[in-house]
Each structure stands twice: as structure tokens, then as C-alpha cells.
Amino acid sequence: MLFSEVAAVFDQLEDISGRLEMTDILAELFQQAEADDIGKLIYLIQGIVAPPYEGIDIGIGERFALEAIAAASGYSKARVESHYKKSGDLGDTAEELLQKRAQTALLTSEMDLEHVYSGMVKIAKASGPGSQEYKIKHLTELLNNASPLEARFLVRFVLGRLRLGVGDPTILDAVSVAHAGDKSFREKLERAYNICADMGHVAEEFYKDPELIEKFKVQPFRPLMPALAERLSTPSEIIDKTGKCGVEMKYDGFRLQCHKKGDRIRLYSRKLEDMTRMFPDVAGSIREMEAKEIIFEGEALAFNEEKKRFFSFQQTMHRRRKHGIDKASQEFPLKVFAFDVLYLDGKDLTQKSYRERRKLVEKTFRKKGLIQPSGFRLVSRPEELKQMFDKAASSGLEGIMAKDLDAPYTAGKRKFAWIKLKKSYGKSVDTIDGVIVGYYLGHGARAEFEFGGVLVSVYNSDSGTLETVAKVATGFTEEEMVDLRKMLEKTKTKNPADNLVFNIEVDYWVEPRYVIEVAFDEITKSSMHTCGTRHGKGYALRFPRIVKLREDKTAREVTTTSEVADMYRLQHSSGFR
Ligand code: ATP
């Protein structure tokens, strides 16, 4: 497959936002792809060269991309830079400057997808001394052979700014449509994706033989998409929904998916990034376990022995960064509360009921050390659930997780298999996770920090758009505000994100990359915000304040518009029973 065909489709995708139309365009492209190409093609659409747990990051900064554009176009760096200042998008700059070159340059040879993909892998894998020069040289070579349109997407890709607005569900639909003309394979594809988190691999296998994806099994070192919880606002609602259920303590720590096979141990974050180096103490403890092969999940958090209280997620991670991992491990020893086991000594447990998996959690972690089972109780009545909740609250925990005893592990899905009830529910405070899309400069007392807050969006999964829900200016300390501003400065863009729907302006737009948790008192309707707009008014958070940066979430995983709508309805439901 030629890369020019891919670039032409990317160009088409930029002008549309409807999922159905996107699916059809992608399906047509996928039909042209051979089994060898499909995996690479899908990675490129996702803006990656490998699944996240492999930790292969392209790692080209603007300055280096700029140098490569200068070398390939024959224009000076200053000229490229001044063009970029006007265009606000280095991809556009590369396209236009190469356009001018193209009229005078010799014929370039057409690149195929394989060539572009392996070039990207080489760029991504280069490390150590001299690697930046190597990356620039390789990118220049690719640009030398690229048409102006191809250059636009190559540059955006290496900068991590492809932003085609195509979500994973659309890609899965398109793979099915390409093969069968309809979405009949969608569910099977999705299941396979959820248990290996590698869509390129799933599509490759599917192209070899559609039956292969039905045989997908959970395997060590191929992390699964984490199961997610729904929320309800009262103990009675939970019991009405599930009947008798298992109730666990809900710990506000760092979710770890732990894999072990023989001596090899890997720990993955909620985003499925490899975090093994960050938690040597946890890895050591897993090494000592009897089980030879295991995949389990738990929540890691630091324990303050003196006060007999847990540190929050934020404090846990902060300590590790600031004081170094070894020192932090001694001073603030971690505990991991195991809450699920997904694979044990060759057996895939994801289809077993939670009742059976919970028994295995207790059996496997019965020796209480660094890792121990999460607090658990079987309950049938709302009053019992409320007792567990009060116990959690009095230990300084976030709340409880109620779990359906008959449910399998719902990888990658937000289902009522797990229902969370947090400390704040039923009272006036709740939280959302939103992505920062822009920021404001400070005025008055805040002018000194040059930071006056952020504009936050949620994700509308039906339309694929980002919709604003709050302007947040409080919650962080001065030091945290300065850090946040510095981070955001590096992702400034001239224009708002392509898929952002907004009614209010900011001082600076940024790439939609950083996720923050925002607490609020109530959801209201306002013409300022665009979340779920009806009759000119969208949902808006009242008294929003930043709780923390959610480094463990990607921009694709923020709260959705329909969840905000549910929360709006929930707040009008009866009190905490
Ligand atoms: P979500 O993960 O649902 O998108 P979130 O990341 O904001 O939302 P919460 O809404 O607080 O997290 O609840 C889900 C998280 O709770 C899980 O991802 C997990 O990290 C954590 N957790 C803590 N204790 C448990 C437990 N006993 N069982 C399952 N998850 C738990």
C-alpha cells in the first residue's frame, strides 16, 4: 500500500466528524490493505508505532522537526520558524514549504506504508548520544521523499499531533465493515482488543483468518484493558441493581496490573504503560509469590505507619518522584490491595464469575505482606452496604466498590459489574475527569504566576467531539499552578483542537493532552459551555476546583458527555439511603 493513499484518506477524515462517514472511508482504505499492512496502518491512525505498554515513544520535539523541515525544503530554519508562527501548525508549514520546493525539485520516488512505518520505528527507537541527530536525519529522509500532503501528516505524526478524531470504536467498526460489509465482527474484534490492548495485532490476526480472534486468550505481558466501574448514588440503588453483592474498600491509589511468568515481572498502569521501574518493591514481592504465572490487579498506595493513615495517590506518586524510589520505598512503604485475579498458572480466569475470582484473590494473597486482598464483605441489604461505606470513610478511604457476584471480568468496559459509591456521592460534591484544552493568564494577585486557570472539556463519544464543561481556577497551590502552567506552555497551539466545540475564548489553546480531576458542587446549565448542548445551553460545573492531575489517564479516557448527563440526573435523585 502506498503512503500517498493513506495521506489522502487522512486528509479526507479531517473534514468530517460523523462516525458513520468516517467508518465508511476507513473501511474502504482497510479493504486495500494486505495482512502485512493492516497492523501498521492501524497504529498510524492511532498515532502510535506500538501498543503503549511497549513504551516506544517517537520523541521528536518541535525544534528537531523544524530542522528536518528546513533540511528537506531547502529553506532556512528562520524561515521555517516564521512560517510556523503564522500557520500555528508545523504540519501545515511542512506542506506549504515542500509545495514550493516540489515545483523545482527532482522527481521523488513514491513511498509505501511499510517504508514510512519502519522509518517511524527507527526514529522512535533511537536513543542515547547522537540519537537526536539520527532522528532528524531519518525524518529529513522521509520528508525528502514525501509529497507536500504526506509531509503534513508525517510531521504531525512525529510530534504526536495527528488528531484525526478517529476513536478506537470507529476503527473496530471499520475493520469489520471492510471484511464483512457490516458490523457483524465488531463484538468479537472488540473482545480480542480488550484482552490484549493491541489493535494492530488484533487486525493482523483477523486478516490472516477471522477465526483466530475468537481464540484470543489472556497472556502474561499482554495487558488487558482495565474493567471500569459505573456509579450510583445510594446504597439502596446498588442493592436494587445487583441484589446480594460483594463490597470492597475503594482505595485511592495507583492501579497496577501485575504480570508474572517465571522470573519476569511487569507492572502496568491504568493507561497500560510499563511502570515496573517505578515499583521495584512491588515487583520484588511478586517475585516471592508461589504462583509461577499470574496476572492480577491491585491498588498501590503508601501507608503512613505513624498516623495509621494512607497517603493519597497524589502524595504517593509525588514522594516517589521527589525523594527517589528507594528512599520513598523505605520511608513510605507501599501496600498493594489486590482486588482481582485474571490469569493463574496457565488458566484464563476472565470468564469466571467474580465470586470464583474473589476466592482466588483471598487464597493467593493470604500471607499478609506488601500485597494483601482488598477489604471485602458479602452484603444483601442497603444498611450493610452503608456500614461498609462508613467504615471506608472513617479509615480515610474514598468509598466502596460493589461487585456483581456472577459477572465475568469486563475488560475495557464500564458496566454494572462494578459500581462505585464514593465519599462525596449523596452529598454535594462529585468529580469528573476532563482534558485541558486551553488556559488563562493571571490577573491581580495571580498575575505573578501568569496563570489564571484552565478550560476543561469532556468527550462526546457519539460525535467524537470535545465539549467544554468548566473554567477552573482554584484548587491548586501556587507551586502546583506554576508547574501546571509550565507544562501547558509546552503544548500551546495557535488554534483550538480540531474537534473542540466551544463558546468561550482562552488566552492560549493547548493540545488536548493533560487530564485533570475536577470537583464541583453541582451541575447546572449554561450558555457558556457546550457539553451536551440543548436549546443553546450545555452542562456546566458549579464551583469547580482542581483535585489533581490524572497522569494515569489519557485524553481518550476522560468523562463522557453522557456520563455528565447521568450525573446531572443523579443529583436530582433521592438522598443517600
Ligand atoms: P474510572 O477508572 O472508572 O474511569 P477513575 O479512574 O476516576 O474512574 P474511580 O472513579 O475513582 O476512578 O474508580 C475506579 C478506580 O478505583 C479503579 O480504576 C481502581 O483504580 C480504583 N479501585 C480502588 N479500589 C478498588 C477495588 N477494590 N476494586 C476495583 N477498583 C478499585
Architecture label for domain 228-422: 2-Layer Sandwich (3.30)
Is residue 314 scored above 50 in pLDDT? yes
Give dist(CA 346, CA 288) in Å, integer.
Answer: 18
Ranking 10-19, 20-29, 69-78, 115-124 by mean pLDDT, the lowest is 10-19
Place of cell 447521568: 566
Q: How many helices, marked H, and strands, marked E, lie in the chain?
A: 20, 23
CA 393 distance to own-chain centroid:
28
Q: In the 8-state DSSP scheme, what is residue 57?
A: -
Ranking 196-205, 427-436, 546-555 by mean pLDDT, the lowest is 427-436
The pairing of strands 334-344 and 371-373 is: parallel
The whole-number pLDDT of residue 319 equals 64
- Nearest atom within ligand 1 for CA of residue 231: 10
The whole-number pLDDT of residue 329 equals 73
Spacing, Cα 67 to ligand 1 middle (Å)? 43
Provide the greatest CA pair distance for the chain. Answer: 79
291 class by beta-carbon count within 10 Å (0-12 exposed, 13-18 middle, 19+ buried): middle
Beta strands in 535-575 (DSSP E): 537-542, 545-549
> For the residues 443-452, what does the mean pLDDT come to?
69
- Ordered strands of the 531-534 beta sheet: 522-526, 537-542, 531-534
The model's pLDDT over 328-381, given as tens digits with 9 standing for 90+, comes to: 777 778 899 999 999 999 999 999 999 999 999 999 998 778 999 999 999 999
Spacing, Cα 83 to ligand 1 middle (Å)? 45
Spacing, Cα 534 to ligand 1 middle (Å)? 31
- Nearest atom within ligand 1 for CA of residue 557: 4
The whole-number pLDDT of residue 322 equals 64
Domain boundaries, the chain: 3-158, 228-422, 430-571
- Nearest atom within ligand 1 for CA of residue 422: 11
> For the residues 20-48, what does the mean pLDDT come to?
95
* % residues pLDDT > 90 (the chain): 68
From residue 435, how far is each of 329, 463, 472, 522 by CA, in Å?
31, 17, 12, 19
Q: In the 8-state DSSP scheme, what is residue 519?
A: E
Give dist(CA 203, CA 35) in Å, integer.
Answer: 8
The model's pLDDT over 254-279, given as tens digits with 9 standing for 90+, comes to: 999 999 999 999 999 999 999 998 89
Give dist(CA 460, CA 534) in Å, integer.
Answer: 14
Q: Is the CB of 357 under 6 A from ligand 1?
A: no
Q: Which contacts of 442-446 are long-range, i.e. CB under 8 A and separated by 24 or more positions?
A: 446/473, 446/481
The model's pLDDT over 495-543, given as tens digits with 9 standing for 90+, comes to: 898 889 999 999 999 999 999 999 998 899 999 999 999 988 999 999 9
- Nearest atom within ligand 1 for CA of residue 403: 28
Q: Is the CB of 255 under 6 A from ligand 1?
A: yes
Which residue has a Cα nearest atom 19 of ligand 1?
255
The pairing of strands 254-261 and 245-250 is: unpaired
The model's pLDDT over 212-222, given as tens digits with 9 standing for 90+, comes to: 999 888 999 99
Vertex 81: Cα angle to 77 and 82 (nearest 5): 120
183 class by beta-carbon count within 10 Å (0-12 exposed, 13-18 middle, 19+ buried): middle
- The residue among 444 and 57 whose pLDDT is bigger is 57
Spacing, Cα 411 to ligand 1 middle (Å)? 13
Indicate if the alpha-carbon torsion angle 490, 511, 196, 28 is positive or negative. negative
The whole-number pLDDT of residue 138 equals 95
The whole-number pLDDT of residue 298 equals 98
- Check 40, 135, 188, 250 and give the catalytic one: 250
| Residue from 230, 247, 250 to probe ligand 1 pocket by mutation (most atoms less than 8 Å from CB) | 250
Give dist(CA 470, CA 473) in Å, integer.
Answer: 10
Give dist(CA 342, CA 197) in Å, integer.
Answer: 15
Write the DSSP string, 452-486.
Answer: -EEEEEEEETTTTEEEEEEEE--SS-HHHHHHHHH
Give dist(CA 432, CA 546) in Å, integer.
Answer: 10
Give dist(CA 291, CA 216) in Å, integer.
Answer: 23
Spacing, Cα 429 to ligand 1 middle (Å)? 17
The whole-number pLDDT of residue 429 equals 59
250 is catalytic: yes
Give dist(CA 438, CA 358) in Å, integer.
Answer: 43
Which residue has a Cα nearest atom 6 of ligand 1?
553
The whole-number pLDDT of residue 574 equals 45
Contact 283/238 with Cβ under 8 angstroms?
no
Place of cell 499482554: 222
The model's pLDDT over 233-243, given as tens digits with 9 standing for 90+, comes to: 889 999 999 99
Mean pLDDT score of the chain, rounded to an integer? 90
What is the band of 442 on the pLDDT scale with cuts at 50, 70, 90? confident
> For the residues 429-438, what does the mean pLDDT come to?
90
At residue 217, the 3 state secondary structure works out as coil
Ranking 89-93, 112-116, 141-145, 478-482 by mean pLDDT, the lowest is 478-482
Residue 12 carries which side chain, given as an amino acid letter?
Q
Give dist(CA 247, CA 261) in Å, integer.
Answer: 30
The model's pLDDT over 369-414, given as tens digits with 9 standing for 90+, comes to: 899 999 999 999 999 999 999 999 888 788 999 999 999 999 998 8
Which residue has a Cα nearest atom 11 of ligand 1?
252
The model's pLDDT over 146-180, given as tens digits with 9 standing for 90+, comes to: 999 999 999 999 998 888 888 899 999 999 999 99
CATH number of the 430-571 domain: 2.40.50.140
User: Which H or E run includes 338?
Assistant: strand 334-344
Contact 6/117 with Cβ under 8 angstroms?
no
218 class by beta-carbon count within 10 Å (0-12 exposed, 13-18 middle, 19+ buried): buried
From residue 396, how far is each of 220, 252, 281, 389, 404 by CA, in Å?
34, 10, 24, 11, 25
Is residue 561 scored above 70 in pLDDT? yes
What is the band of 323 on the pLDDT scale with cuts at 50, 70, 90? low
Ranking 289-293, 414-418, 551-555 by mean pLDDT, the lowest is 551-555
What is the band of 428 on the pLDDT scale with cuts at 50, 70, 90? very low
| Choices 3.40.50.880, 3.30.70.1140, 3.30.360.10, 1.10.3260.10: CATH for 3-158 | 1.10.3260.10
Strand-pair partners of 500: 466
Is residue 426 scored above 50 in pLDDT? no
